[in-house]
A = this chain, B = another copy of it.
Amino acid sequence: MCELLGMSANVPTDICFSFSGLMKRGGETGPHRDGWGITFYEGKGSRTFKDPEPSCRSKIAQLLEQYPIKSCAVIGHIRQANRGGVNLQNTHPFERELWGRNWTFAHNGQLTDYRALEVGAFMPVGNTDSELAFCYLLGQMKDRFAKAPRNPVTLARFLAKHADVLRQKGVFNMLLTDGTLMFAYCTSKLHWLTRKAPFGKAHLVDSDWEIDFSQETTPTDVVTVIATEPLTKDEPWNKMDTGEWLMLKDGVPVS
């Protein structure tokens, strides 16, 4: 299995604190030694850092823990391989362009009987169930909508319907973003919380790092973080149910 990290915010926000906790699980406090990746959006543009090496000893991960890239949407992933070899083409997140936007996807879980999924216009480069599921979802989106639906909930319901199809094939926890919207779907394990004023302190589960968000934010900031397992000890994480989805925009759920 793998672990997921997502962030949606109403102002460009750095994710060094949460990222640091996740990276520790990549071979140090957790068993996810088979690569890691993280995508940051800045406006419509995005950049992905990825490495098939364990994150706990990656020089690139070390740089990013100290290098505050400010972003309104982030997807991160650490991998414990089950389908597909440990190499760069199988390292999440995966990216494709649709409707003139960069879409980024990461998956936690394992599918069976997935090779027959229709991928349409998007072909996998590697050989994971995850990238195939991503191509399936994007292919369905492209076939159904000539351009992005105006209402994010329309897209969320459409994605949830197809995620329900994928859930029939195994465990399918996932994150998908175009830098504006952030869609999360849970079949087994996914948690989220929204940080907003009044901000308090939080302490990472995986290291001694404690942060006082009131020192790092302005009163109008709103940030939602999604993670496979809660990253902090002292905050009220919401556990998602099987088949539950969450669509975020500007740091808050839309429904």
Contact = CB atoms under 8 A, between A and B. Distances in A.
A79 interface: no
A122 interface: yes
Nearest to A46: B88
Contact of A126 (B45, B49, B59, B125): B45
Nearest to A50: B47
Contacts of A100: 123-125
Number of copies: 2
In terms of DSSP, what is the predominant structure of the interface of chain A?
Answer: mixed
Interface residues on A, range: 20 to 34
Interface of A: 42-52, 59-60, 63, 67, 87-91, 95-97, 99-102, 121-126
Contacts of A89: 43-46
A97 B96 contact: yes
Contact of A125 (B45, B48, B124): B45
A133 to B, nearest CB: 15
